[in-house]
Amino acid sequence: MAVLVGKPAPSFSAKAVKGETIIDDFSLEQFIGNKYVVFFFYPKDFTFVCPTELHRFQEELAEFEKRGVEVVGCSTDSEFSHWAWLNTPKEKGGIQGVQYPLVADINKTISASYDVLAGEEYVNEEGAIAVDGELVAYRGLFLIDKDGIVRHQVVNDMPLGRSIRECLRVVDALQHFEENGEVCPMDWQKGDDAMNATHEGVSDYLSNN
């Protein structure tokens, strides 16, 4: 698994769906210099764990927006599958009401560039291309700063849903560091004491906590 933290987020241009609109050339580069991005991958449309995550991101969308964060989802489904899922009511397993963009990685190239693509292609004994497993995305999540640099990543296996609260906590920690120059210790929450990255700063923090 590639570690992208500290590196520019892989660029791409792909079809995406936002609400009722299909976008032909969606790219994260439009947010550089203006917004942070939480870019998350999920395995498949019309499945079971995935809609719980997509609805939860929507429920917390205002919290991300308050922090200047654009939420963007991605799977290896087509834009037409995304559109159909977005137009299916929640009580029928759909994600109607989700307002952030969903990228269509139908060629698997985006998942591959972020190194979250499950399955593996190989040439079998007959010389034909075969696949071990399914070529779908793991539950990868990447926090990208305003300079387009990945500052946080986490990848879950497909049965394991993520924590939106943890995602928001990491956004808060990054923004606290950028604004105050203080580093954030384990389990830090917005409003908690942070520390200066010096021996004295650590000592002061530990003596007060």
For the chain, what are the domain ranges? 14-162, 163-209
Beta strands in the chain (DSSP E): 14-18, 21-26, 36-41, 69-75, 102-104, 120-123, 129-132, 139-144, 150-156
* Neighbouring C-beta atoms of residue 197, cutoff 10 Å: 11
- Cα R_g (the chain), whole angstroms: 19
Task: Give the pair of three-digit tokens for residue 196.
Answer: 């200066």
Candidates 3.40.30.10, 2.40.440.10, 1.10.275.10, 3.30.750.24; CATH matching 14-162: 3.40.30.10
- Among 50, 74, 167, 184, the one annotated catalytic: 50
Express each pLDDT in 50-74 by its tens digit. 999 999 999 999 999 999 999 999 9
Examine the residue annotation and report whether 50 is marked as an active-site residue of this protein.
yes
Express each pLDDT in 155-169 by its tens digit. 999 999 999 999 999
Q: Which residue has the tokens 């696949």?
A: 131
- pTM given for the model: 0.92
